[in-house]
A and B are shown apart, each in its own frame.
Chain A
Amino acid sequence: QVQLQESGPGLLKPSETLSLTCTVSGYSLTSGYYWVWIRQPPGKGLEWIGAIFHSGNTYYHPSLKSRVTISVDTSKNQFSLKLTSVTAADTAIYYCVRDHVLDYWGQGTLVTVSS
């Protein structure tokens, strides 16, 4: 059973860096698939942030590209998201998800940006 679990701080101040980690169990990242970050502002729709292939190739949403880094740690079977210079507009539930078809989702973690 593939499971994904997000972890990281839930409250940030404006201009800080958001750092989240997704721990994957039941599947080895090195076996393939893309690994994806998606976010959802409270009460709103879904936004694709970016993806990383197990080899390290990355793809980012153009609107976030200057602030986003997605990386993978195969030794820990984890992948991570960093988003710099956050503002209130970055307040959202952040999900880590497997593959382009988005077949397995983490439960999501709420990140609030507030002074």
Chain B
Amino acid sequence: EIVLTQSPGTLSLSPGERATLSCRASQSVTSNYLGWYQQKPGQAPSLLIYGASSRATGIPDRFSGSGSGTDFTLTISRLEPEDFAVYYCHQYADSPSTFGPGTKVDIK
């Protein structure tokens, strides 16, 4: 089973700042089958990025994903008020599919 580790656990930033979230895998994620999801309180998660770097439909370009192998990054170039949420990475290269523990981005 591929174990995903996310850092930091919490990121305290102000609107307009840049957010950099890290996801590290215990083994290589084949074909970069790595996704990023945003979850707001009381809501289901929603897909932001798939294939490590492809934005899902309707996702603004301030969200970008990068990385390969075992190290992946989600960057939010300029935080908007609606971006404060929990972010999860997820690998779907290997069964069982697994999630990271999440990074909470909160308002400083």
Q: In whole angstroms, how far apart are the Cα atoms of A36 and B45 in the complex?
A: 14
Contact between A101 and B99, CB atoms less than 8 A apart: no
> Which A residues between 78 and 95 are near B, CB-CB below 8 angstroms?
95
Number of interface residues of B (CB under 8 A): 23
Inter-subunit contact A106/B44 (CB<8 Å): yes
Determine whether the beta carbon of B50 is less than 8 Å from that of A105.
no
A102-B101 contact given A46-B88, A61-B96, A62-B96, CB 8 Å threshold: no
Which B residues lie within 8 Å of A108 (CB)?
44
Among B35, B37, B92, B96, find the residue whose CB has the most chain A CB atoms closer than 10 A.
B96
A59 adjacent to B95 (CB under 8 Å): yes
* Candidates B44, B88, B97; contact of A105 at CB < 8 Å: B44
Q: Determine the distance from Cα of A99 to Cα of B83 in the docked complex, in whole angstroms.
A: 25
A103 to chain B, nearest CB (A): 5
Interface residues on A, range: 10 to 19
Name A's interface SS: loop
Which of B45, B56, B97, B98 has a CB less than 8 Å from the CB of A100?
A: B97
Residues from chain A with a CB closer than 8 A to the CB of B43 are 107
- Complex: A103 Cα to B88 Cα, angstroms: 14
B24 on interface, CB distance cutoff 8 Å: no
A100-B47 contact in complex given A45-B99, A48-B98, A48-B99, C-beta closer than 8 Å: no
How far, in whole Å, are A51 and B94 apart by their CA atoms in the complex? 13
A46 to B88, CA, bound (A): 8
Q: Which residues on A sit within 8 Å (CB–CB) of B56?
A: 103
B66 vs chain A, min Cβ distance (A): 17
**Interface of chain B residues 42 through 100 with chain A (CB within 8 A):** 43-47, 50-51, 56, 88, 90, 92, 95-100
B44–A46 CB distance below 8 A: no
Contact status B45-A107, CB under 8 Å: no
- B residues near A (Cβ < 8 Å) are 1, 33, 35, 37, 43-47, 50-51, 56, 88, 90, 92, 95-102
- Could you pull out 28 A-B pairs where Cβ atoms are within 8 angstroms? A45-B99, A45-B100, A46-B45, A46-B88, A46-B99, A47-B99, A48-B97, A48-B98, A48-B99, A59-B96, A61-B96, A62-B1, A95-B44, A95-B45, A100-B33, A101-B47, A101-B50, A101-B51, A101-B92, A102-B35, A102-B37, A102-B47, A102-B92, A103-B56, A105-B44, A105-B45, A106-B44, A107-B43
